[in-house]
Amino acid sequence: NAGVTQTPKFRILKIGQSMTLQCAQDMNHNYMYWYRQDPGMGLKLIYYSVGAGITDKGEVPNGYNVSRSTTEDFPLRLELAAPSQTSVYFCASSYSQSRGGGYTFGSGTRLTVV
Amino acid sequence: GDSVTQMEGPVTLSEEAFLTINCTYTATGYPSLFWYVQYPGEGLQLLLKATKADDKGSNKGFEATYRKETTSFHLEKGSVQVSDSAVYFCALSEGQAGTALIFGKGTTLSVSS
C-alpha cells in the first residue's frame, strides 16, 4: 500500500552511539517532515524538507541532522545519542503546504537511549 | 507564534455517550485546522479538516466547525464507541512556505462498554 514507511520500529541505543532513522514515501510528495512525540507534549517538528536537496530546521533540531537526496527518502541522523533523545519519532509527508494539505504519517520509530 | 491548546485528558466515557474535545488556536493569519487521531501503537491519521471560517469538517461521525470569532475548532461526536478510544490531536497550518503543522498536546479518549 502507498504511504510512508519508517524503519526500524524499535531501537535501543547506548549514550554516544549514532544511528539513522529511515523514512521513505511513494506518493511523490515534495514535502517531508520529522517530528518527535514525547508523552503529554504533543508533536514537535525536528526538520522538514520542501523538496530534494532542500532541508530546514524545525522547532527542536539540536542533536539531529537530515538529508534529502531523492524525493522518496528523508533519513534522520542522530550523531551522539543522549537520553533526552528517547522518544517516538514520526516521519510525515504532504503534497503541498497549501491551506488544505493534510499529512500522511509513518507508523513511528520508538527509540530508547540508555 | 502560532499555537494550539487542547483540553487536558484523559477523557473517560461510556459507550454511546456524547463527546466534546475542546481546541482553541492562536494564529497570525487564517490557518487551516485539522483533527488527527492516533490509535495505540500507530501513527497519526487525518480525521477531518476545515480550511476557512464556518466550514464544518466531518468523518466517521465526528464533526468540528471552524469558529473564527472564538478561534476554536472543537471536536464532537454524538455517540462514541469503544473503537474510538485513541489520542486526538488538534492542529493548524498557516500554509505558508517554510511552515508545518503545529499540534496541540493531544487528548486521550477512553471509551468503556
User: Mean pLDDT by 10-residue block, N- to C-terminus, for chain B (113 residues)?
Assistant: 89 97 92 92 91 94 96 97 96 71 92 96
> Which positions in chain A touch B97 (Cβ < 8 Å)?
50, 97
Cell of A113: 537511549
The three-class DSSP label of residue A85 is: helix
Q: Is A89 on the interface with B (CB under 8 A)?
A: no
The three-class DSSP label of residue A50 is: strand
Residue A17 binned pLDDT confidence (cut-offs 50, 70, 90):
very high
Judge: B32–A100 Cβ closer than 8 Å, yes or no.
Answer: yes
Report the b/e string of A10-42 with b at 16+ CB within 10 A.
Answer: ebebeeeeebebbbbbeeebbbbbbbbbeeeeb
Cβ distance B73 to B15 under 8 Å? no
pLDDT exceeds 80 at position A99 = no
How many beta-carbon pairs below 8 A join chains A and B?
65
Write the burial class of residue A52 (CB in 10 Å: 0-12 exposed, 13-18 middle, 19+ buried). middle
Judge: A102–B46 Cβ closer than 8 Å, yes or no.
Answer: yes
Judge: A33–B44 Cβ closer than 8 Å, yes or no.
Answer: no
Q: Is A103 on the interface with B (CB under 8 A)?
A: yes
Q: Which residue has the higher pLDDT, A85 or B41?
A: A85
Cell of A89: 519519532
- When CB atoms are compared, the residue of A41, A99, A107 closest to B43 is A107
Phi first, then psi: give them for residue A83, nearest 5 degrees: -55, -30
Judge: B93–A97 Cβ closer than 8 Å, yes or no.
Answer: yes
The CA distance from B33 to A17, in Å, is 39
- Strands A10-13 and A109-113 come out as parallel
The CA distance from B70 to B65, in Å, is 11
Query: In percent, how much of chain A has pLDDT > 90?
Result: 78
Judge: A105–B45 Cβ closer than 8 Å, yes or no.
Answer: yes
The CA distance from A110 to A90, in Å, is 9
> Which positions in chain B touch A105 (Cβ < 8 Å)?
36, 43-45
> Which positions in chain B touch A27 (Cβ < 8 Å)?
none
The CA distance from B67 to A79, in Å, is 44
Region of poorest pLDDT, from A18-22, A79-83, B25-29: B25-29
Q: What is the pLDDT of residues A34-77, one digit of tens each?
A: 999 998 788 999 999 989 999 999 999 999 999 999 999 999 99
